Amino acid sequence: MIYKSVCHHLFNAFDIDSIRHIFANLSGMRIDAVELLGEPSWYPSDTCQVLRDNGLYVSSITAAARRNTGRDLIHPSSKTRQLTREHLLRCVDFARGVDCNNVGVSLTAVGRFCRDEDSEAELKRLEGALEWLSVTAGREGVIFSIEVLNRFSAPYFNDPSEVLARFSDLPGVMITFDSFHLLTELRNFQDLRACASRTANIQVSGGARGSVSSGIVDPALFVNALVAGGFHGPVTLEAFPVGTAPFTDVIGRDHQIFTLVEDYANWFDEWQKRGWDQR
């Protein structure tokens, strides 16, 4: 099944009243699932019940690693790597609590790149991280999905053939593709077809992270390539409005983001009506 999903962290609101408001609106806008942020302590204990009340389920838990969190799976510091693994295990527990089996992972802190003289050591740590993810996925009964073709958080896999070669022997480790980065990294969307069976999630947006319908290139081009290869799973909106209202203007910000969600829902429904093979 291919279904609609929206990143909850676009709203930047984690109190229970905001979650009730957001999830109720998403359900009313024909959204099937939400992608939750990999910060278990930010979510109230009633989150799972609110999901059920609104007929929503969780497409994935996104355990993004940013430099200000001190998390990085392949950091030179063994302490940092260990703390990151412990955090990912908390995200696995969080995923179980909301009936989800997919935890999205950033291999390195977003925007951190190794120095050339450290590249060999970095690649060794990368191999260790991938091995740990695969073993842990098997033990915990989950999937870890890594966003590839993204030079900001996984600057090691920037070609579909590289991705396929490395991930084919990693049970439990899957792929996330993001249209925003694919437009930068990829020249032929058909190259994605061979990666479809290893793909757990597709994230979409328009040009400059705007509305899906606003881009010069329709994200359906690469979605179609993955569907043609056998992809089944969430197509998740990760777009940001231009001139976003300040975080203190909750009503204004919500209106802007819900406008993006409505645009996405209409795009998805039209895409399904035409049929992926007709585009």
How many C-beta atoms lie closer than 10 Å to residue 184's C-beta?
11
Q: Is the pLDDT of residue 276 over 70?
A: no
Average pLDDT over residues 9-27: 91
Average pLDDT over residues 152-174: 85
Q: Is the pLDDT of residue 249 over 60?
A: no
Q: Model confidence over 105-116: pLDDT tens digits?
A: 988 876 665 554
Under DSSP, the state recorded for 66 is B
Helix/strand/coil for 177: strand
**CA separation (Å) from 201 to 2, 35, 82, 115, 238?**
10, 10, 26, 31, 12
Q: Model confidence over 198-233: pLDDT tens digits?
A: 999 999 998 778 889 887 788 998 899 999 999 999
Prediction pTM value: 0.90
Q: Is the pLDDT of residue 245 over 80?
A: no
**What residues have CB less than 8 Å from 97, skipping those under 6 apart?**
48
Looking at residue 278, its pLDDT comes to 46
Highest mean pLDDT among 56-60, 154-158, 175-179: 56-60
Closest CA to 35 of 87, 94, 90: 94
Q: Model confidence over 71-92: pLDDT tens digits?
A: 889 888 999 999 999 999 999 9
Distance CA 157, CA 77 (A): 23
Distance CA 219, CA 182 (A): 9
Give the Cα-Cα-Cα angle 205, 208, 213 (nearest 5 degrees).
45
Looking at residue 110, its pLDDT comes to 64
Distance CA 156, CA 171 (A): 19
How many C-beta atoms lie closer than 10 Å to residue 228's C-beta?
14
Average pLDDT over the chain, rounded to an integer: 87
Average pLDDT over residues 28-46: 95
Closest CA to 136 of 92, 78, 197: 92
Average pLDDT over residues 248-256: 67
How many C-beta atoms lie closer than 10 Å to residue 49's C-beta?
12
Percent of the chain surpassing pLDDT 70 = 89
Percent of the chain surpassing pLDDT 90 = 58
Q: Residue 35 is encoded by which pair of tokens?
A: 């992608």
- Which range has the worst mean pLDDT, 62-71, 92-101, 168-177? 62-71
Q: Model confidence over 128-154: pLDDT tens digits?
A: 999 999 999 999 999 999 988 887 766
Q: Locate tokens 């098997």: which residue?
A: 138
